Structure formats: structure tokens, C-alpha cells
């Protein structure tokens, strides 16, 4: 819910830069991924999922890139389905969605706005899945509201910084942050598999 609020706030503040075709291709897949997650009873080992996400992110950041076909409408729909499904089990699909969105080569504001929109929808579907599974959001409402409010402040400050960055600096920082998150996933994945 906090991520939903944070990404929703970022979306509201940056909607003018949204890449609508990319978002509209992502949404149906995310819906399918959420439905599959709500019915899926078998869980893969969390460590394996984290290592898979880390490998995908590192490949898209530092490898030769995804083929053009993977960035088209069908590939984007599949990415929406897979990342939403994975996020229901691991909760760490943000770096994978970010790396996929970045592959489209849009300007930094468009990348951030489109990522926020994709993640907002993804977290909204997860809220429905977890709500249907019996999670009581009302018990956590005060904490959720406080954290979302702080997330909105952070988003406002972050977007001001984003407008001052060059595309080169944004790309460099984006790669460094996603690489660090991926390495953390590798560490978590290995520690869970070896535990």
C-alpha cells in the first residue's frame, strides 16, 4: 500500500510525461499476472526468484539489451504479467520493471512517469490479491497514511532533482541504483537458498 501511494503520487506529479502506448501494453499483462498469482498455490523458492530478478536486471543494464521484439506490444504485455506475478511472491519486481522501461530509451521524465504508472497499477492489483486473501489493511491504516505522506514529500523532492539532472547523469545514477538493488537481491537470494 505504501508503494502504491508513493508510485501513485509520482504518477500524479509527472503524468504529463507518461508514455501511454507503453503503459497500455503493460496493463493487460499485469492484470493477467495478478490473476495467476491469486490462484497459484505452489511457490517457488524465494531465493531462486530473487536471483532470477537480479539476473534479468543486470542483463538489461549491462548486457547487449533486449531484442526489439521483446520491447513491442506483446513483449511489454508479457513483462507486465511476469513482473506482477513475481512481485506477488517476492515483492522486489520494481528493479525489473524499471530496467524494462529504461530499455525503451525514453527521456528521464518519461521513464520515471511511465515506471510510476506501471508500478501503481501493479501494486493496486496486489492490494486486491492480498485483500482477497484476508489481509486487514484497516489495522495498518495510520502507518500506511504516514508512510505514503512521507513518500509524496520524497517524490516531490526527487522530481525537482530529476528536472535538474542531465540525461547522462540520470542514466548513470539509474544504472548504479538498479545495479546495487540487483546485487542486494543476489545476496538475499543466495543467503535464502543456502540457509
Cβ burial of 28 (10 Å; 0-12, 13-18, 19+) is middle
**Average pLDDT over the chain, rounded to whole?**
85
Q: What is the DSSP letter of 165?
A: S
Domain count, the chain: 1
Residue the block writes with cell 524499471: 98
pLDDT band at 134 (very low <50, low <70, confident <90, very high): confident
Q: Please compute the mean of the pLDDT values over residues 152-162 and round it to a whole number.
A: 93
Which element (helix H / strand E) includes 135? none
**CA 8 to the chain's CA centroid:** 12
* 123 within 8 A of 68, measured Cβ to Cβ: no
Poorest-pLDDT segment among 23-32, 62-71, 152-161, 186-195 = 62-71
Range of the domain at 185: 2-194
**pLDDT over 80 at 188, yes or no:** yes
| Spatial separation of the C-alpha atoms in residues 102 and 59, rounded to whole Å | 12
Q: Please compute the mean of the pLDDT values over residues 153-175 and round it to a whole number.
A: 92
| Spatial separation of the C-alpha atoms in residues 169 and 134, rounded to whole Å | 44
Dmax (CA) for the chain in angstroms is 46
* 6 within 8 A of 117, measured Cβ to Cβ: no
Give residue-wise pLDDT tens across range 53-71.
788 888 888 888 777 777 7
pLDDT of residue 136: 84
Amino acid at each position: 500500500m505504501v508503494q502504491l501511494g508513493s508510485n501513485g503520487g509520482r504518477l500524479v506529479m509527472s503524468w504529463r510525461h507518461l508514455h501511454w502506448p507503453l503503459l497500455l501494453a503493460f496493463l493487460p499483462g499485469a492484470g493477467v499476472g495478478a490473476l495467476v498469482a491469486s490462484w497459484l498455490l505452489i511457490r517457488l523458492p524465494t531465493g531462486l526468484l530473487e536471483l532470477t530478478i537480479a539476473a534479468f536486471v543486470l542483463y538489461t543494464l549491462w548486457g547487449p539489451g533486449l531484442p526489439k521484439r521483446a520491447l513491442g506490444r506483446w513483449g511489454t504485455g508479457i513483462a507486465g504479467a511476469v513482473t506482477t506475478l513475481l512481485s506477488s511472491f517476492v515483492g522486489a519486481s520494481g528493479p525489473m520493471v524499471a530496467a524494462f522501461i529504461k530499455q525503451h530509451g525514453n527521456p528521464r521524465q518519461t521513464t520515471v512517469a511511465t515506471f510510476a504508472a506501471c508500478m501503481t497499477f501493479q501494486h493496486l492489483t496486489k492490494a486486491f490479491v492480498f485483500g482477497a486473501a484476508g489481509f486487514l489493511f484497516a489495522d495498518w491504516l495510520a502507518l500506511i497514511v504516514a508512510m505514503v505522506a512521507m513518500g509524496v514529500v520524497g517524490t516531490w523532492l526527487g522530481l525537482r532533482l530529476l528536472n535538474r539532472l542531465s540525461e547522462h547523469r540520470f542514466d548513470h545514477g539509474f544504472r548504479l541504483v538498479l545495479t546495487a538493488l540487483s546485487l542486494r537481491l543476489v545476496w538475499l537470494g543466495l543467503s535464502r537458498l543456502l540457509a
